[in-house]
């Protein structure tokens, strides 16, 4: 999986400086700051206490937000830990609770977390990078800003309520002042300007708070090119990393934004002016480039010179991006404070170039490229310098940049001239309209062009936007991309920049197409997880123009499932019997579940212990229908929820699926995902997302209690659904409790193959609650209730006759019971016509004659004729006889072969011979 690749390969965590102190009690070494460095790269991110950071969670795009309280290592210094104060994102708050907010949450809003059930100690290695967090007054509006990087805190959240939060809690200065030894660095753009974040589309805001600014600046160091350029010549890996991230996150943010737009027209317009499509374009190109990874490796210089073909695209895509950055930088110039600390520390080639603004750089690839320029490409040097200066100067307006760029381009061009023709062609081929996946999988120009055209067409015609929520895949950077070597990355960026201005306007229409296509795709998935989703999802050929055939239209977005409400209110129960009937209805929830105390206790303690321990487990509950399995579990959940509400146990999430309420076992994933996160996905996709969710060592997760009703219906040939359901709870970090319900006691043994069964046994051995049949006649409580209800009705009827308020007596119950359990066969036979009765007798006579339980109609008919004669009836014709036989067959008193066999069809009795004879004799 790409996700892991990215993680594992890249980061190295180190303490900076000596431990500040040693905590004897805990045997921990306290540190003041932590350096995060990506292997082989010079740039380093510094994490200090008091800083806001992003922590890796189960969601790539929405990493957890927290503030570092303490940094420490255990005695050996091997285990790096951090104690943090958590913040929750909007997406982490259960959708049901969001209502408490009383307004629409801002996408960049986070909440100061006051819940208790969350481990505040995290592995330092799960820290991603710093982030800017800003406190706002509750009443203050959210700043309108392009900056998607900054997060805002207004309220705190304790898993039950929102409260106002004190700004000091949020933005309190770090315990120690910044290291004074660090030399002042040039003013920077706030880090937020970087779209290169993992969090989708956060942007920096102008903020006057120096502390925050500093932190932010620091935070983004890791991603900044500036530091790298100032530092080493080996920024490649990291830059690639950031770029891919950048692009994907950008694309995500774009998606997100798109999703908020309702009308396609508006969306389109917005996209036109939004800088985001560049990301995608870039990504496309990147992908293409990455394909050539091997060829390109090690031949940087040459390629730089010889590979301009790719450049147009890249530059083009970059333009808008830079524009934003510039805007931002100009906005913030005043507040920028010198803080290229980390770069300083690590940079080797600093003497040559002063540290460039980290914040700004992070968003743009200049630094790396600059380096490159220094090393390899003399021609390109000048423009780069100039550009580098621009952000540093902080006065750069868009205009200025515009003016600078052409010159740069001019300069750059001579070196690339020879290949310009190729360039054009390549642009066509790899151009922005093509989804990454497509680009990757097929290089055939024609195919690509066709597909791009199809997509364009589609966008023009298709107003229904969410035809294809699943083609998010297209925007996902591939694995290859992630692994690809840095050289390319640098090149890409070079090229990008140079081409940017040249082709910007030229490829407009493609961009538009791309945009609108994206809008169509993004509309379906507006969740912030889409990126992650896509990474993990199978890369099945979604890019094939499946969407061109709008097979089944999706449910219209605005449709809300609801039944119209009554024009007149329902009548209240008027008398005792009606009241009783209401209570006796199966739907009414009883205050207690008699005879289920033991089971209740078992389940309750099981789930409670799991929630308390923060571990996972699964339980299998079986019992015949109507014995109260589901009711008991629901009761348990109600009690637990209550306990959680009064803070006896940590908060948890309850989610329920029912095997009978889905069309296919794999829909289980979709439903679970939807319940947990509210997002929609295809089955495969959902499976992958859940897999990720439950297998990730996410440091802070509520326990999820999953109730799987009618488990046996989730059986599939490969049993993967069941396997997963039983496997997830065993994962170390899953914190998942699975309660499964089915009717058969031996379900695990009977239908689960070993690997599934073993999963269950391992966990469930120690607790398995079996609900047993209670009553002798029928343990089905539902039926019992129905009988009682019917008895009240009967009572009402008879009472109405006597005009007395009746009590429901045993006689009524017996009557109801008889009504429900008496077999209709005998009555039916009694009520049958004479010929039908005769025919039944003939059947029995023939059976006796043959000594078999089966005869053909012809044989029976002979008997029938004889009986008719005996009874003094006129013999019936064959046609009539057949009709009689068919009627009996329709009632299922007889079982018949298809009627086209005529007299040859075989006849069987569906009732016992005794019953038939009894019914006939009673006449």
Partner 1 sequence: MGVLTCAAAITYKPLQRVFFRQPIRGDLQSKAEVVISDSAELPRKSRHFHHNTFRFFHTIMSKRKAKDAHLPIGECINQVHQILRKRFCHQQLPDKPEGLEAQHKHLVELLKRTAVHGESNSVLIVGPRGAGKTMLLRSVLRDLSEETEVQKNLLQVHLNGLLQTDDRIALKEITRQLHLENVVGDRVFGSFAENLGFLLDALKKGDRSSSRPVLFVLDEFDLFAHHKNQTLLYNLFDVSQSAQAPLAVVGLTCRLDVLELLEKRVKSRFSHRQIHLLSTLTFSHYLDRVRAQLSLPDGFPDGKFVEEWNAAVTTLCEDKSVVEVLQRHYNSSKDFRSLHMLLMLCLSRVSVAKPAITPADLLDASRLCVADAKANMLHGLSILELCLIIAMKHLNDVYEGEPFNLQMVHNEFKKFLQRKSSSLYNFEQPVIMKAFEHLQQLELIRPADSSSAKTQREYQLMRLMLDHGQIMEALQKYPQCPTDIKQWAMSAFA
76 Cβ neighbours under 8 A, 6+ residues apart: none
Q: Which residue in the set 598, 833, 899, 912 belongs to the binding site for partner 1 (CB under 8 A)?
A: 833
- The region that residue 598 occupies, defined by phi over 0 for left and psi between -120 and 50 for alpha, beta otherwise, is alpha
Which of the stretches 209-217, 376-384, 402-410, 870-878 binds partner 1 when contact is defined by CB under 8 A? 870-878
Which of the stretches 172-180, 402-410, 560-568, 687-695 binds partner 1 when contact is defined by CB under 8 A? 560-568
142 binds partner 1 (CB under 8 A): no
Measured between alpha carbons, how far is 586 from 331 in angstroms, rounded to an integer?
A: 65
- Report the nearest approach of partner 1 to the CB of residue 849 (Å): 14
Which residue do the tokens 């940087």 mark? 300
- Report the nearest approach of partner 1 to the CB of residue 881 (Å): 9
Measured between alpha carbons, how far is 383 from 354 in angstroms, rounded to an integer?
A: 16
**Exposed / middle / buried, residue 212 (Cβ in 10 Å: 0-12, 13-18, 19+):** buried
Measured between alpha carbons, how far is 241 from 486 in angstroms, rounded to an integer?
A: 8
751 to 780, contacts with partner 1 by CB under 8 A? 780
Q: How far is CA 236 from the centre of its chain?
A: 32
DSSP H or E run through 630: helix 629-645
Nearer to partner 1, 1 or 775 (CB): 775
Which string of x and - marks every residue 794-823 that binds partner 1 (by CB under 8 A)?
-------------------------xx---
CB distance 53 to 45 below 8 Å: no
Q: Which residue in the set 562, 592, 754, 818 belongs to the binding site for partner 1 (CB under 8 A)?
A: 562
568 binds partner 1 (CB under 8 A): yes
CB distance 115 to 157 below 8 Å: yes
How many angstroms separate the Cα of 697 from the Cα of each of 29, 58, 306, 620, 694?
24, 7, 45, 26, 8
230 binds partner 1 (CB under 8 A): no
Q: Which residue in the set 877, 914, 922, 923 belongs to the binding site for partner 1 (CB under 8 A)?
A: 877
Nearer to partner 1, 646 or 776 (CB): 776
Q: How far is CA 772 from the centre of its chain?
A: 38
Q: Which residue in the set 786, 815, 854, 915 belongs to the binding site for partner 1 (CB under 8 A)?
A: 786
- Report the nearest approach of partner 1 to the CB of residue 105 (Å): 23
DSSP H or E run through 308: none
Nearer to partner 1, 171 or 780 (CB): 780
**Exposed / middle / buried, residue 18 (Cβ in 10 Å: 0-12, 13-18, 19+):** exposed
- Report the nearest approach of partner 1 to the CB of residue 93 (Å): 22
Nearer to partner 1, 76 or 565 (CB): 565
Strand partners, 135: 153
Q: Which residue in the set 831, 850, 852, 870 belongs to the binding site for partner 1 (CB under 8 A)?
A: 831
- Report the DSSP pairing between strands 52-55 and 127-130: antiparallel
Measured between alpha carbons, how far is 61 from 245 in angstroms, rounded to an integer?
A: 10
Strand partners, 15: 34
370 to 389, contacts with partner 1 by CB under 8 A? none
309 to 368, contacts with partner 1 by CB under 8 A? none
Measured between alpha carbons, how far is 161 from 98 in angstroms, rounded to an integer?
A: 9
CB distance 503 to 316 below 8 Å: yes
Nearer to partner 1, 807 or 890 (CB): 890
Strand partners, 372: none
549 binds partner 1 (CB under 8 A): no
Q: Which residue in the set 582, 598, 601, 912 belongs to the binding site for partner 1 (CB under 8 A)?
A: 582
272 binds partner 1 (CB under 8 A): no
920 binds partner 1 (CB under 8 A): no
884 binds partner 1 (CB under 8 A): yes
825 binds partner 1 (CB under 8 A): yes
Q: Which residue in the set 16, 531, 783, 812 belongs to the binding site for partner 1 (CB under 8 A)?
A: 783
Q: Which residue in the set 188, 288, 409, 790 belongs to the binding site for partner 1 (CB under 8 A)?
A: 790
Task: Give the Cβ contact number of residue 804 at 10 Å.
Answer: 9
273 Cβ neighbours under 8 A, 6+ residues apart: none
Q: Which residue in the set 575, 811, 827, 899 belongs to the binding site for partner 1 (CB under 8 A)?
A: 827
DSSP classification of residue 56: -
- Report the nearest approach of partner 1 to the CB of residue 902 (Å): 5
- Report the nearest approach of partner 1 to the CB of residue 588 (Å): 7
591 to 650, contacts with partner 1 by CB under 8 A? 624-626
- Report the nearest approach of partner 1 to the CB of residue 860 (Å): 11
Which of the stretches 11-19, 595-603, 784-792, 846-854 binds partner 1 when contact is defined by CB under 8 A? 784-792
Nearer to partner 1, 234 or 886 (CB): 886
Which residue do the tokens 């300069």 mark? 411
556 three-state secondary structure: coil
Q: Which residue in the set 127, 196, 304, 662 belongs to the binding site for partner 1 (CB under 8 A)?
A: 662
CB distance 892 to 867 below 8 Å: no
DSSP classification of residue 729: G
Q: Which residue in the set 597, 664, 749, 853 belongs to the binding site for partner 1 (CB under 8 A)?
A: 664
How many angstroms separate the Cα of 236 from the Cα of each of 246, 297, 366, 500, 526?
15, 12, 12, 21, 32
Angle ∠(488,439,149) on CA atoms, nearest 5: 65
865 binds partner 1 (CB under 8 A): yes
461 binds partner 1 (CB under 8 A): no
Measured between alpha carbons, how far is 867 from 571 in angstroms, rounded to an integer?
A: 58
- Report the nearest approach of partner 1 to the CB of residue 666 (Å): 9
Nearer to partner 1, 428 or 743 (CB): 743
902 Cβ neighbours under 8 A, 6+ residues apart: 857, 882
Nearer to partner 1, 96 or 587 (CB): 587
667 to 726, contacts with partner 1 by CB under 8 A? 667, 670-671, 710, 713
Nearer to partner 1, 561 or 851 (CB): 561
- Report the nearest approach of partner 1 to the CB of residue 811 (Å): 18
């Amino acid at each position: 999986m790409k996700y892991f690749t990215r993680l594992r390969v890249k980061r190295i965590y180190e303490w900076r400086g000596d431990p500040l102190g040693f905590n004897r009690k805990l045997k921990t070494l306290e540190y003041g700051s932590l350096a995060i460095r990506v292997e082989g790269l010079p740039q380093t991110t510094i994490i200090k206490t008091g800083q806001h950071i992003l922590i890796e969670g189960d969601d790539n795009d929405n990493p957890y937000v927290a503030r570092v309280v303490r940094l420490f290592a255990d005695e050996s210094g091997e285990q790096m830990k951090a104690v943090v104060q958590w913040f929750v994102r909007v997406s982490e708050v259960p959708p049901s609770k969001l209502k408490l907010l009383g307004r629409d949450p801002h996408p960049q809003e986070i909440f100061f977390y006051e819940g208790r059930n969350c481990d505040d100690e995290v592995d330092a290695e799960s820290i991603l990078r710093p982030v800017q967090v800003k406190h706002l007054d509750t009443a203050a509006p959210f700043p309108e800003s392009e900056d998607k990087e900054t997060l805002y805190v207004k309220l705190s959240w304790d898993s039950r309520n929102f409260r106002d939060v004190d700004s000091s809690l949020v933005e309190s200065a770090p315990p120690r002042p910044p290291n004074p030894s660090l030399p002042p660095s040039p003013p920077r753009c706030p880090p937020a300007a970087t779209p290169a974040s993992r969090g989708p589309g956060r942007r920096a805001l102008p903020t006057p708070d120096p502390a925050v600014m500093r932190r932010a600046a620091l935070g983004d160091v890791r991603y900044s090119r500036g530091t790298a350029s100032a530092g080493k010549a080996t920024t490649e890996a990291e830059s690639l990393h950031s770029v891919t991230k950048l692009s994907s996150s950008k694309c995500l943010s774009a998606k997100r934004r798109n999703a908020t737009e309702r009308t396609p027209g508006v969306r389109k317009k917005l996209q036109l002016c939004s800088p985001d499509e560049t990301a995608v374009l870039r990504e496309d190109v990147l992908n293409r480039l990455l394909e050539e990874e091997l060829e390109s490796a090690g031949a940087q210089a040459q390629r730089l010179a010889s590979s301009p073909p790719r450049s147009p695209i890249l530059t083009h895509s970059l333009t808008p991006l830079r524009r934003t950055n510039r805007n931002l930088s100009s906005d913030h110039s005043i507040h920028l404070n010198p803080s290229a600390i980390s770069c300083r520390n690590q940079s080797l080639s600093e003497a040559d170039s002063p540290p460039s603004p980290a914040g700004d750089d992070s968003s743009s690839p200049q630094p790396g490229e600059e380096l490159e320029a220094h090393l390899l490409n003399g021609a390109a040097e000048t423009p780069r310098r100039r550009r580098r200066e621009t952000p540093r100067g902080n006065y750069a307006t868009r205009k200025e940049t515009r003016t600078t760029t052409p010159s740069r381009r001019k300069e750059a061009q001579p070196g690339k001239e020879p290949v310009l023709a190729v360039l054009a062609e390549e642009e066509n081929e790899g151009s922005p309209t093509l989804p990454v996946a497509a680009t990757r999988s097929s290089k055939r120009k024609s195919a690509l062009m066709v597909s791009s055209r199809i997509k364009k067409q589609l966008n023009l015609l298709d107003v229904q936007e969410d035809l294809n929520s699943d083609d998010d895949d297209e925007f996902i950077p591939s694995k290859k991309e992630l692994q690809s070597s840095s050289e390319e990355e640098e090149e890409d960026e070079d090229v990008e920049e140079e081409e940017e201005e040249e082709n910007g306007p030229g490829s407009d229409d493609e961009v538009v197409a791309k945009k609108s296509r994206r809008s169509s795709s993004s509309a379906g998935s507006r969740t912030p997880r889409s990126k992650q989703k896509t990474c993990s999802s199978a890369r099945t050929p979604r890019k094939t123009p499946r969407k061109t055939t709008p097979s089944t239209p999706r449910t219209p977005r605005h449709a809300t499932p609801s039944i119209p409400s009554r024009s007149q209110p329902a009548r209240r129960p008027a008398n005792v019997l009606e009241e009783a009937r209401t209570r006796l209805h199966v739907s009414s929830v009883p205050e207690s579940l008699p005879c289920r105390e033991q089971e209740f206790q078992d389940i309750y303690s099981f789930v409670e212990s799991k929630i308390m321990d923060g571990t996972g487990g699964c339980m299998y509950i079986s019992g015949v229908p109507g014995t109260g399995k589901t009711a008991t579990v629901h009761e348990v959940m109600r009690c637990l929820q209550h306990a959680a509400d009064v803070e006896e146990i940590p908060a948890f999430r309850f989610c329920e699926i029912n095997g009978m309420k889905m069309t296919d076992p794999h829909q289980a994933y979709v439903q679970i995902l939807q319940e947990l996160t509210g997002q929609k996905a295809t089955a495969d996709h959902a499976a992958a997302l859940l897999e990720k969710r439950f297998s990730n060592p996410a440091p802070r997760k509520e326990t999820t209690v999953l109730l799987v009703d009618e488990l046996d219906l989730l059986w599939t040939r490969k049993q993967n659904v069941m396997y997963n359901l039983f496997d997830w709870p065993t994962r170390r970090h899953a914190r998942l409790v699975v309660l499964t319900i089915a009717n058969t006691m031996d379900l695990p043994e009977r239908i689960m193959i070993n690997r599934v069964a073993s999963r269950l046994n391992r966990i469930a051995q120690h607790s398995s609650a079996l609900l047993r049949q209670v009553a002798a006649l029928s343990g089905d409580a539902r039926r019992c209730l129905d009988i009682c209800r019917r008895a009240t009705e009967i009572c009402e009827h008879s009472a109405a006759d006597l005009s007395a308020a009746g009590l429901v007596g045993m006689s009524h119950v017996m009557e109801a019971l008889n009504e429900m359990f008496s077999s209709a066969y005998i009555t039916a036979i009694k009520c049958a016509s004479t010929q039908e009765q005769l025919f039944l007798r003939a059947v029995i006579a023939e059976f006796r004659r043959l000594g078999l339980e089966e005869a053909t109609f012809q044989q029976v008919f002979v008997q029938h004729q004889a009986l008719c004669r005996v009874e003094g009836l006129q013999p019936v014709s064959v046609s009539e006889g057949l009709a009689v036989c068919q009627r009996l067959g329709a009632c299922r008193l007889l079982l018949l072969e298809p009627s086209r066999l005529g007299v040859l069809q075989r006849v069987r009795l569906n009732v016992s011979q005794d019953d038939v004879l009894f019914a006939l004799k009673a006449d």
